[in-house]
Structure 1
Amino acid sequence: MKHFWEIDEEENYYTLEKINEKEIAEAEKKLGVTLPDTYKKLILEQNGGYIVHNAFPTTQPNSWSEDHIQFTHLRGIAEDDGIMESEYLIEEWELPKGLILINGDGHTWVAMDYRKTKENPPIHYFDLEMEEDFKLADSFDELIKGLYTVEYIVDEEAEVDEEAEIEYEIPNEYLSKEELQSILKMENPDTDDIYKIQYYPMKEIEEIEWFFDTIKNHIENVKDEDVLYEIASTVNSLLLINQKMPTNSNIKDLVQQIAKFLEGNEDSLIVNLGEHIAFKIRNIN
């Protein structure tokens, strides 16, 4: 996965001891299920930890937000602090049996739901405060492809303590053409710069056409696969956020060209993003 894990030189609670394929197979045998291939690929790269993105969209209101859940880390494979302690945590927090917990802090959990299957599980969200159990995604791959980044601000008038309210905010001042061009001209843009692309205004037809034409021309010349993945992921997030943006045949054609270009990549994860983008633009308006 391109830039999936948050780069952190310091130790963190969720990053566990490195694991190999044999140990993953032993874990599957003990759990009695087949873990998703993408999950195993990520865990071979790094056995759990904080991730670059921090949210997944949902239309189901929850105790965190009206339109998304928080997803800041992915649990790895280990008896302590990993998915192998799911059974204990399920009993501790009175959750349904048949789950493998991949994210959570006690009040909310995200889980691979093996209640009705032994492979290819859907992903469910459990909100203990609101007594909610709802499906987030049909598969682990859908979960990973749908992750995006949101900005949070602390109310400046609130006291800086554990009870300070955190709010979700989309900036009032959208990204300008000049700012977008500046980001795309960067030789090695970081993830924080790239995700700002999703704040380009999707209001006027001419501006939207210019945006997707600029992105199309840019990605066709990107040499760094990591940067290409991040731009594709951000375009995917932008389409999630702007599901009611105005479109015309030219805009849809430009986005389809972007999707087709990504689908021709050798990296299967970039190909999947291309397919996801193509699906979204077909279903806008």
Structure 2
Amino acid sequence: MDIWVTNYDADPYKLEDIDELTIDAYERSLKLKLPLSYKRILQNQNGGTIKYNSIHVGGFQEEDVYLEINHIYGVGYPGLLDSPYLIKEWDLLQDILVFNGEGNAWFALDYSSELPHVIYIEADSKEVMKVAASFEEFLKKLTYKELSQEYEKDSRSKEEAETIFLGQEEFLIEEVLLSYQDTEDIEWYLAKLLQLTEHSSLSVREAVATVIGVNTEYILYECPEPSLKILNRIINNLSRDKSKDIRREMKDLKERYDL
């Protein structure tokens, strides 16, 4: 995934290029393993400003929330090597690795579980929000929007949305998927997601996988039986996807919820 802004010469977060051996040495020094998806982006560029400015959290009946983020740390200073100091200085959680933040809020990998998930920490209140089940999911949820504005819920009719879903405009499809996440007609929405599992665009199918990954728990425990059947069909379709990453994500989802 290409996330970096490459034409910013004065980028304070862009560090010297590193190789896999340097990353391995860093992991040994902190006695942790970086997610493979994190290693991949660091091998493309060792930290820096990203093309996105926010990450979307919440969905379906939850309130839409967009958290601001514009850089990701590389290995070095300022970067991941600052994490132990930041944890001590700001009295943050233990067993985390801070990979973004400037004193008022932090994004971090939480290693309290076997698969590190991504959390957001408010510096003053110490409130912790789970953002993504994995760093790979976190990357897929990055987006760009005007942070002072919220998506207009259901700003397009279902008929307009269905026409868009049949098209090839990837960004527009993903935008409409987000705007309808909290619709009350969940069966209709899931049916559209099922339809999009067959879309020719990998980006669209990845968006579907991300939406399902974030909302499976809600669907399982809060939605009626017909919705569960559609959910299973979506997961089964994505489990056969051409993309190895999507197949792996669905495998993890099945194991997590015993599907």
Question: Which residue pairs with 1:93 in the alignment?
Answer: 90
Q: Deviations over 1:131-158 (max 9, x none)?
A: x26473796448638946596654xxxx
Shift of residue 124, structure 1, vs aligned partner: 4.9
Hey, what's the Cα distance between the residues in 1 that align with 2:37 and 2:83? 20
On the 8 A contact 1:121/1:138 being kept in 2, the answer is no
Unaligned runs of 5+ in 2: none
On the 8 A contact 2:173/2:204 being kept in 1, the answer is no
Shift of residue 213, structure 1, vs aligned partner: 2.8
Question: Which residue pairs with 2:39 in the alignment?
Answer: 40
Question: Which residue pairs with 1:195 in the alignment?
Answer: 175
Hey, what's the Cα distance between the residues in 2 that align with 1:145 and 1:121? 14
On the 8 A contact 2:120/2:129 being kept in 1, the answer is yes
> Would you say 1:136 and 2:130 are equivalent positions?
yes
Structure label with greater radius of gyration: 1
Hey, what's the Cα distance between the residues in 2 that align with 1:72 and 1:175? 28
Question: Which residue pairs with 1:264 in the alignment?
Answer: 240
Hey, what's the Cα distance between the residues in 2 that align with 1:248 and 1:139? 24
Question: Which residue pairs with 2:158 in the alignment?
Answer: 177
> Would you say 1:23 and 2:22 are equivalent positions?
yes
Shift of residue 260, structure 1, vs aligned partner: 0.7
Secondary structure in 1 matching 2:170: coil
On the 8 A contact 2:104/2:122 being kept in 1, the answer is yes
Question: Mean Cα displacement is larger for which, 120-129 or 242-251?
Answer: 242-251
On the 8 A contact 1:136/1:143 being kept in 2, the answer is no
Shift of residue 228, structure 1, vs aligned partner: 1.6
Pick one of 239, 246, 249 that aligns with 2:225: 249
Shift of residue 108, structure 1, vs aligned partner: 1.6
Question: Which residue pairs with 1:224 in the alignment?
Answer: 201
Q: How many residues in Structure 1 have an aligned counterpart in Structure 2?
A: 251
Q: 1:212 to 1:277 in 2, by over 3 A?
A: farther
Q: Which runs of 4+ in 1 moved over 6 A?
A: 276-283
Pick one of 76, 94, 116 that aligns with 2:73: 76
Question: Which residue pairs with 1:161 in the alignment?
Answer: none
Structure 1 counterpart of 2:72, one-letter code? R
Q: Percent identity?
A: 22
On the 8 A contact 1:203/1:245 being kept in 2, the answer is no
On the 8 A contact 1:56/1:148 being kept in 2, the answer is no
Aligned-pair RMSD on alpha carbons?
4.3
Give the 5 Å matches for 1:49-128.
Answer: 49-50=49-50, 52=52, 54-57=55-58, 70=67, 72-73=69-70, 75-95=72-92, 99-113=96-110, 120-121=115-116, 123-128=118-123
Shift of residue 262, structure 1, vs aligned partner: 0.7
